[in-house]
Structure 1
Amino acid sequence: MQPSELKDLRIAIVGAGYGGAAAARALGLLGADVTVYEQANAIREVGAGIGLRPVTMNRFRQWGIFDAIARVSSPSEYFEIVTATGEPIMRETWPADGEQTHTHLIHRGDFIEALLGVLPEGMVRLGHRLERVEDRGDRSLLAFADGTTVEADLVVGADGIKSVVRQQLFSDRAPVFSGEHAYRAVISTDDAHGMVNDDNLRMYIGRGTKVYLLPLRHRRQVSFDITALCPDGTWTPRVTKDDMLRTVDGFDERLVDITRGLDMNTVNVRAVYDIDPVDTWHSDSAVLVGDAAHSMLHHQGQGANSAIEDAGALADALRTAASVKEGLALYQATRKPVTDTLQSISRQGWTENGIDDVFPGQKPATAATGK
């Protein structure tokens, strides 16, 4: 599209999470009139740590925000998988890309704050809970709980796994329970019982449980994550300290000690869900990005990275194509095959006997079939 056409484009983004904030930055740089509508009255990102891959960091470099992200993250050299008691299974060096950019480890809260911090004042409007979206062909209408309505040339649904935009316009299929729970906390490095002495992500696996230790050196903290099998699909289940200790029974005693020392008031507990692939992500005036389009299980650590790349690909497509309609089609054609594959791989999960399914040809110490 011509620069003049992009500047006349009115874009409404629903959701100020990873995908929404990244889309606001990428589309704003095109010169479009962008507004982000977020249902929360304050931005507060719960959870723990994530890894930002080189392709993501290079998007930030392209958008002029690399330094803002780098200041609140730690570069990492490799990802290591070990047994429950610490015997090596495999180690994979994170790829470097462009100017030797490495994977960076970051806390979700720092990530959201850094992304939102580079957006123009007034671009994000809080307290706007979407109730209805209407596709009117070349424009779409948003209706919010406070009675506000907004028309836009393009609505970007970045409203997560329970996306109203997706459910009303593209797919009403419900999220899918994985049969797992995730228990996440951020602890001081001093409380890690000497298990963290570098900037590399480690995963301990055994008996259907995965324990992740993700260093956040810039905070002098560690993201501690237990993912365990559980049949309770309640979105926010009630879990006790004893329940958590049972999931790490037989693991390295230091991991057991970390679990025993957790303050349950600081542990984020949730059932793990994703969605089945969505056939169509766009109409002529509405489109999905991030978890709204392709929420996936966290085993591959690709949720946030995929959302950022969606934002970049959407901006690239609109810049390249002759119209919004053609740009949205190009965006879906570019991103959907990639995320369909990642959703499928992420559902394989991780077991001591499943490494080869995820890393074919890697010749790990133990390899058979995944779940």
Structure 2
Amino acid sequence: MQLCDLQNLRIAVVGAGYGGASAAKALSLLGARVDVYEQAAEIREAGAGIGLRPATMNRFREWGIFDAIAKVTSPSAHFEILTPACDPIMKETWPPAGEQIHTHLIHRGDFIDALLGVLPEGMVHLGHKLESITDNGDRAVLSFAHGARVEADLVIGADGIKSVVRRELFSDKEPVFSGEHAYRAVISLDDAHGMVTDDDLRMYIGRGTKIYLLPLRHRDQVSFDITALCPDGTWVPEVTKDDLLATVEGFDERLVAITRELDMAGVNIRAVYDIDPIDTWHSDCVVLLGDAAHSMLHHQGQGANSAVEDAGALADALREADSVPQALTLYQATRKPVTDRLQAVSRQGWTEDEIDEVFPGQRPATAAPKD
């Protein structure tokens, strides 16, 4: 689109998470007027650590915010998978050969703070809970719970797995329970029982349970994540310390000790959901982004990275296309095949059988055969 057309474009982003904040930054650099509407009165990101892949960090460099993100991260060289007894299964070097930017490990709270910190003052509007959206063809109208109404040339639904924008305009399918729970906490390096001495991300895999140790050494902390099978699909289930200890039975005693010493008040507990791929992400003036478009399980660590990549692809498409409708078509054509594949791969996770398929002969010796 021509510069003058982009500068006259009014864009409303619903949701101030990773995808919404990234889209706001990328699109504001095009000269568009961008406003972000977030339902929370205060933005607080619970949970633990994530890894920002090289392609994501390259987007931040492109947008001039690499340093703001990198200063609250630890660069990481490897991802390693081990048995419950800490015997190695595989070790993968990241980034891939030829990349000059490492994967960076970051706390979720630091990440969203850094992203919001690079947006112009007044761009983010808190306390705006979306109730409905009306698509009028060339413009859309947002109606919020407190009575405010906003009209925009382009609305970006970055409002997460429970997206109102998706439900109202594109798909009424409900989120899908994975049959797993995730228990996440951030602990000090001193409480990691000597298991973290570098910046490598490690996953310990046993029957029905995966334990992730993600170093945040720039914080003198470690992100500790247990993902375990559980049939309870309650979004925020009630879980006891004994429940957690049962999931790590048979793992290295140091991992059991970390679990035993967790302060349950600081453990983020949730059932794990994603969504089935949806056919259409956009109309002529409304588009989905991030989890609203393709929420995926966390096993491959692609959720936040995909949201940032969506934001970059949307900005690229608006710059290249002749109109907003053409740009949205190009954006979906670029991103949907990628995210469909990532959703499928993330659902596979890292089961012992799949490790055996990918790394023949390296299946954990402790694994019991399936019935």
Q: What is the TM-score normalised by the length of structure 1?
A: 0.97
CA distance in 1, matches of 2:299, 2:38: 27
CA distance in 2, matches of 1:94, 1:238: 36
Matches within 5 A, 1:196-207: 196-207=196-207
- SS of 2:254's equivalent in the other structure is helix
Gaps of 5+ in 2: none
CA offset at residue 364 of structure 1?
Answer: 6.1
- SS of 1:354's equivalent in the other structure is helix
Matches within 5 A, 1:35-184: 35-96=35-96, 100-184=100-184
CA offset at residue 98 of structure 1?
Answer: 7.1
CA distance in 1, matches of 2:8, 2:71: 35
Closer, same or farther: CA 93–363 of 1 in aligned 2, 3 Å: farther
CA deviation string 1:171-212 (max 9, x = no partner): 000000000000000000000000000000000000110000
- SS of 1:353's equivalent in the other structure is helix
Q: Is the 8 A contact 1:236 1:271 kept in 2?
A: yes
CA offset at residue 365 of structure 1?
Answer: 1.2
Q: Is the 8 A contact 2:355 2:362 kept in 1?
A: no
CA offset at residue 99 of structure 1?
Answer: 6.6
Closer, same or farther: CA 255–99 of 1 in aligned 2, 3 Å: closer
1:168 alignment partner AA: E
How many residues end up aligned between the 2 structures? 367
Equivalent residue, structure 2, for 1:351: 351
Gaps of 5+ in 1: none
- RMSD (CA atoms): 1.5
CA distance in 2, matches of 1:293, 1:351: 26
CA deviation string 1:193-245 (max 9, x = no partner): 00000000000000110000000011000000000000000000000000000
- SS of 2:239's equivalent in the other structure is coil
CA distance in 2, matches of 1:178, 1:136: 36
Equivalent residue, structure 1, for 2:186: 186
CA offset at residue 97 of structure 1?
Answer: 7.3
Equivalent residue, structure 1, for 2:18: 18
CA distance in 1, matches of 2:258, 2:20: 35
CA distance in 2, matches of 1:158, 1:50: 19
CA offset at residue 352 of structure 1?
Answer: 2.2
1:85 alignment partner AA: A
CA distance in 1, matches of 2:331, 2:363: 39
CA offset at residue 353 of structure 1?
Answer: 2.3
Give the 4+ runs in structure 1 shifted more than 4 A: 96-99, 367-370
1:54 alignment partner AA: P
CA deviation string 1:138-192 (max 9, x = no partner): 0000000000000000000000000000000000000000000000000000000
CA distance in 2, matches of 1:231, 1:215: 30
2:352 alignment partner AA: E
CA deviation string 1:295-329 (max 9, x = no partner): 00000000000000000000000000000000000
CA distance in 2, matches of 1:356, 1:58: 33
**Sequence identity, in percent?**
76
CA distance in 2, matches of 1:364, 1:109: 40
- SS of 2:352's equivalent in the other structure is coil
Equivalent residue, structure 1, for 2:362: 365
CA offset at residue 355 of structure 1?
Answer: 1.8
CA distance in 2, matches of 1:62, 1:50: 21
CA distance in 2, matches of 1:98, 1:316: 24
CA distance in 2, matches of 1:297, 1:177: 10
Equivalent residue, structure 2, for 1:308: 308
Matches within 5 A, 1:214-233: 214-233=214-233
